[in-house]
Structure 1
Amino acid sequence: MIKFLLLINKHGQICISKHYQHLEQEDRQRLEKELIGICLKRGNKKSSFLEYHDFILVYRCYLDLFFIAGITKDENEMAIYEFFHLILETLDKYFPKLSEVDIQFNLDKVHMILDEMIINGNIVETSPARILAPIELLDAAKR
């Protein structure tokens, strides 16, 4: 199960923060600050999997963005690592030439995409076409 999913830039600013287990706001902020520090300090030659407290930390860097997930110990780390690529691929299909600016100015759409993919910390959809279909219907209704 995915406990949380973060998307941060190389400056350590959080773009997206989705938590699938309850944490008090203070604890959430402390955890996010610690994780950002850990991921930004690790070099490219180090593993993208790290045991941290009671979960496994999985992260992947794409251009200027870091995808970070905290997962339970019974979850498959490689599946989550590849899932990050699926998220990026899906976002890239929706936003041509995806950039951090697209994410920042379309947080509602990014959250909708993630909500189509993950429910209660479990991956439920992996087809980009099926993930984007409801969002494209909403876009068509607005025109």
Structure 2
Amino acid sequence: MIKAILVFNNHGKPRLSRFYQYYPEDMQQQIVRETFHLVSKRDDNVCNFLEGGTLIGGSDFKIIYRHYATLYFVFCVDSSESELGILDLIQVFVETLDKCFENVCELDLIFHVDKVHHILAELVMGGMVLETNMTEIITRIEEQNKLEKSEQSLDAVLLRSLSDKFTKI
């Protein structure tokens, strides 16, 4: 089971954190800090999995990560998860973000937090993997975007009709 998904930049600033197990907020921040220190000090040519830090469960848990440009994508999982499966899941997540934001960057994660969380929710919910087919995920995201646009146009029509009524009064 996935315990946490963390994305932070090269300086350790969290850009996305999603915990699927309850931790108090101060403990979450400590976990992000500890995970960053564990992952950032590793060379680029070493294995992308390691034992979990002391705060997230120690040797019973694994940290699986990928480093892309200025961002670390980190999944903290229990020992039942496949390391290679999670690496593939990270790849699907990053490629989906890349398609949705047309060459995703750190600023996309900052300014479009809601959309990033929605994409993540299409992949993982409650710590369990839901979907790994990128085409299916993108189809669901596009459907959501269409729905949001139709709601915005409906809201605009309602606002116009209300403003027309108030100007007549």
Q: Taking structure 1 as the reference length, what is the TM-score of the superposition?
A: 0.93
SS at match of 2:12: coil
Unaligned runs of 5+ in 1: none
Please give the alpha-carbon distance, in whole angstroms, between the structure 2 residues aligned to 1:50 and 1:16. 20
In the other structure, the counterpart of 2:126 is 120
Give the structure with the higher percent helix.
2
Per-residue CA distance 1:73-94 (angstroms, 9 max, x = gap): 1110111012111101111111
Identity of aligned residues (%): 35
Q: Which amino acid aligns with 2:132?
A: T
Bigger relative contact order (CA 8 A; separation at least 6):
1
Alignment match of 2:82 (pick from 76, 82, 87):
76
Bigger radius of gyration, 1 or 2?
Answer: 2
User: Which residue is equivalent to 1:11?
Assistant: 11
| CA shift for structure 1 position 48 | 1.2
Q: Distance in 1 between matches of 2:69 and 2:43?
A: 14
Spell out structure 1 runs of 4+ moving beyond 6 A. Answer: none
The root-mean-square deviation of aligned C-alpha atoms, in Å, is: 1.3
Separation of aligned partners in 2, 1:71 and 1:106: 26
| TM-score (structure 2 length as normaliser) | 0.80
What residue in structure 2 maps to residue 50 of structure 1? Answer: 50
Shift of 1:15: 0.6
The answer for the alignment partner of 1:97 in structure 2 is 103
SS at match of 2:104: coil
How many residue pairs match? The answer is 143
**Residue of structure 1 equivalent to 2:37:** 37
